[in-house]
Amino acid sequence: MRNIKLLIEYEGTNYAGWQVQAGLPTIQGALIEAASRLTHGQAQVAGASRTDAGVHALGQVASLRTDSSIPSHKIMQGMNFFLPKDIVIKEAAEAPPDFDPRRGSKGKVYLYRIINRDHPSAIVRNFTWHVFASLDIAAMRQAAAHLIGEKDFSSFRAAGCEAIHPIREVTSVELFDRGEGLIEIEVRGTAFLRHMVRIMAGTLVAVGKGKIRPDELPDITEAKQRAAAAMTAPAQGLCLVKVEY
């Protein structure tokens, strides 16, 4: 059975997340259906990141296992023909039989986008979190520095997280003021817990609003309790930018 590495872009607005769920539209389900229709056979698709409902991706990576002899570039073209317009295969290439997009990953890059002004955006409303209150970006940057390193991130972990242990390494957290009220939070790390980036974003916004001081971040982390951190930021602002190997 061949193993094809796929690079995928998608808008998660209309999907119940990555993972197949009975009776619900999912990214993984759409990919399996497209591959099966193209190859007239069974297809297995596994992803590097199980993104939540409403979360987007510019650089999701997946493996497609198939017995089809269709060349990889034709697989890309053929799957794009059968896929809905909000899911696109950007690249398809032969991979070693043991390639596992999740276990083989060395790191991931996520981007969280915020619109910080007195009115939301009609155009990018499905890709940003509208925050009305003026945010102190300098304070948010100070707080972000405390999130870098290898730590127990239990305070930034959703209740339903299935990870065996909560130790994760965050290699960088950067904030960018793009103008017109657009703020971007870029988070890089080796691996992430469920909702971890969204809880980090929600906590940094609380800092920006003055509800949490930047120097409180170490105490929040040390508490190792979800209740210590702030709200989980809405899903639509999050995008998986890149999976590193």
Q: Is 52 a catalytic residue?
A: yes
**What are the start and end residues of each CATH 3.30.70.660 domain in the chain?**
107-244
Residue type, 46: A
Q: 242, 233, 164: which is closest to 197 by C-alpha? A: 233
CATH class of 2-94: alpha beta
Look at residue 2 in the predicted model and tell me its pLDDT: 97
Residue type, 112: Y
In the DSSP assignment, the letter for residue 200 is H
**Span 107-244: which CATH code?**
3.30.70.660
Write down the catalytic residue from 52, 98, 100, 118.
52
pTM tops 0.85 = yes
Look at residue 160 in the predicted model and tell me its pLDDT: 84
Q: 52, 220, 235: which is closest to 151 by C-alpha? A: 220
Distance CA 72, CA 75 (A): 5
Q: 17, 104, 21: which is closest to 61 by C-alpha? A: 104
Q: Which residues pair with 153 in a beta bridge?
A: none
Look at residue 40 in the predicted model and tell me its pLDDT: 97
Residue 185 to residues 60, 167, 237, Cα–Cα distance (Å): 18, 21, 10
Tens-digit pLDDT string for the chain (245 aa): 999 999 999 999 999 999 999 999 999 999 999 999 999 999 999 999 999 999 999 999 999 999 999 999 999 999 999 999 999 999 999 999 999 999 999 999 999 999 999 999 999 999 999 999 999 999 999 999 999 999 999 999 998 888 889 999 999 999 999 999 999 999 999 999 999 999 999 999 999 999 999 999 999 999 999 999 999 999 999 999 999 99
Look at residue 52 in the predicted model and tell me its pLDDT: 96
